[in-house]
Amino acid sequence: EFGWKRYNSLAQIEAWLDEILARYPVITEGFIVGQSYEGRTIRGIKISYKSGNPGVFIESNIHAREWITSATATWLINQFLTSEDPLVRTLAESHDWYIVPVLNVDGFVYTHEKDRMWRKTRQPSATSSCIGADPNRNYDSHWMENNGASSNPCAENYGGPQPFSEPEIKAMSEFVAGIKDKVNVMLAFHSYSQLLLSPYGHTEEELPPNYDDLMEVAKAYADAVEAMPYGTVYRYGTASGILYIASGATNDWAYNEQDIQISYTIEFRDTGHYGFILPPVHIVPNAEEALFGIAALLDKCKELG
C-alpha cells in the first residue's frame, strides 16, 4: 500500500490524496490542473492554514521517470499536515502551498507499465512515428531559442510542434496564470544531479535582474542541506551557466512570463550512481533534505523581503 518505503503508482497516489483531502477538509483543497492527452485528470492540493500567506507552487514529475520527485512531494504534503516538529509547523502554517505531485500523468503511468526510462509526454507527433515532447521545453517562454530544445520529434528534448502543444503544459500554464498574484515562489522538482537552477535557462548572455537574491536564496537551501547529517552537497547557479541551455522550462516561464521572482528547478539525488532509478531507501532522506532546504530558502526570502 501507499507509503514512502517504495515508489507508488498514480492510482495509489490519487487514492492517498483523496484520503488526505477527506481527513483535512478545512486546511486542504483539491484542485484540477486539467486533462492530459490520454484523458487523465491532473490533480493538485492546496494547503492553507490561514489566508494571505505567501504562496509556494511545487510542480513535480513533469519528467515521467523522475519518480523521486512525486515521492518527495507527497512526503512533504504529509509532513505539512501531520508533523509535530515546531520548525515544520511554522513552515507549513506560514505559507499557502500549491502542490502538483504528478504533472506528466500519462508519462508517469507509462514508466510504471511499459518503459521505466520514459521522459516525455505521450502525445503522438503529426510528422513522425516518435511519441511525445519534452514538457520542460514546451512552455511559451523563449521557446526553441538558442538551441535550447530540439526540433526533432524523436529527441528526448523535443520542444513540441509549437509552444503549449502538450495539453498538460497548456493546462499547467493556465492554472498558474490564474493564481500568479498569490504565488511568490515556483519550485520545479526534477532528478538527478543535486542542483538548484535559477533563470535564465535560455541564455548565458544575460543574468536575471535579481540574480544576487536568487543566488543567496539558493545558497541558503544548499547550506541547510549540507549541514544535515547526510552531508549531501547541492550546487547552485543559473541553469544555462551550470548545466546547459534549455528553453521553455517551467521555472523560466514562471519567472519571465508570470513575474514569479523566486523560481528554481531543483535536481534531487543522486549525482549519477543510480540516476533516475534511485532506490527507495533514498526517498525519506531526499525528502527531509527538500523539507529543510525549502525551509531555509523561504526564511531567506523573508529576510530579503
| Residue count, binding to ligand 0X9 (CB under 6 A) | 14
- Whether 168 sits among the annotated catalytic residues: the reply is no
The residue range among 13-21, 88-96, 138-146, 239-247 that interacts with ligand 0X9, by the rule CB under 6 A, is 239-247
The residue range among 87-95, 170-178, 179-187, 238-246 that interacts with ligand 0X9, by the rule CB under 6 A, is 238-246
Contacts of 202 (CB under 8 A, 6+ apart): 141, 142, 145, 146, 148, 240, 245, 246, 247, 248, 252
Interaction of residue 190 with Zn ion, rule CB under 5 A: yes
Select from 252, 270, 288, 289 the one that contacts ligand 0X9 (CB under 6 A).
252
The residue range among 43-51, 63-71, 172-180, 290-298 that interacts with Zn ion, by the rule CB under 5 A, is 63-71
Interaction of residue 197 with ligand 0X9, rule CB under 6 A: yes
Measured from the Cβ of residue 53, the count of other Cβ atoms closer than 10 Å reads: 17
Of residues 41-80, which lie at the interface with ligand 0X9 (CB under 6 A)?
Answer: 63, 66
Comparing CB distances to Zn ion, the nearer of 54 and 275 is: 275
Strand order in the sheet with 195-198: 28-35, 41-47, 96-100, 55-60, 183-191, 262-268, 195-198, 235-238
130 closest CA partner among 138, 139, 120:
120
The residue range among 16-24, 55-63, 70-78, 230-238 that interacts with Zn ion, by the rule CB under 5 A, is 55-63
Contact flags string 132-161 toward ligand 0X9, x per CB under 6 A: ----x-------------------------
Indicate the SS3 state at residue 267.
strand
User: Which listed option, Zn ion, ligand 0X9, none, makes contact with residue 201 (CB within 5 to 8 Å by class)?
Assistant: ligand 0X9
Interaction of residue 243 with ligand 0X9, rule CB under 6 A: yes
269 closest CA partner among 288, 255, 254, 256:
288
Cβ pair 138, 248 in contact under 8 A: yes
CA gap 195, 130 in Å, rounded: 30
**Catalytic site residue from 267, 288, 289, 303:** 267
What DSSP character marks residue 149?
S
Interaction of residue 249 with ligand 0X9, rule CB under 6 A: yes
Comparing CB distances to Zn ion, the nearer of 197 and 297 is: 197
Torsion of CA 179, 138, 193, 206, to 10 degrees: -80
Gyration radius of the chain's alpha carbons: 18
Indicate the SS3 state at residue 84.
coil
Interaction of residue 122 with ligand 0X9, rule CB under 6 A: no
Interaction of residue 201 with ligand 0X9, rule CB under 6 A: yes
Rama region for 162: left / alpha / beta (φ>0; ψ in -120 to 50; rest): beta
Interaction of residue 179 with ligand 0X9, rule CB under 6 A: no
Burial string for 61-91 (b: 16+ CB within 10 Å, else e) reads bbbbbbbbbbbbbbbbbebbbeeeeeebeeb
Measured from the Cβ of residue 130, the count of other Cβ atoms closer than 10 Å reads: 14
We find the least distance from the C-beta atom of residue 276 to Zn ion, in angstroms, to be 9
Select from 63, 65, 120, 282 the one that contacts Zn ion (CB under 5 A).
63
Interaction of residue 269 with ligand 0X9, rule CB under 6 A: no
For the chain, the farthest-separated pair of C-alpha atoms sits apart, in whole angstroms, at: 55
User: Which listed option, Zn ion, ligand 0X9, none, makes contact with residue 288 (CB within 5 to 8 Å by class)?
Assistant: none
Give the residues lining the site for ligand 0X9 (CB under 6 A). 63, 66, 136, 190, 197, 201, 239, 243, 246, 249, 251-252, 265, 267
Tell me which residues are annotated as active site: 267
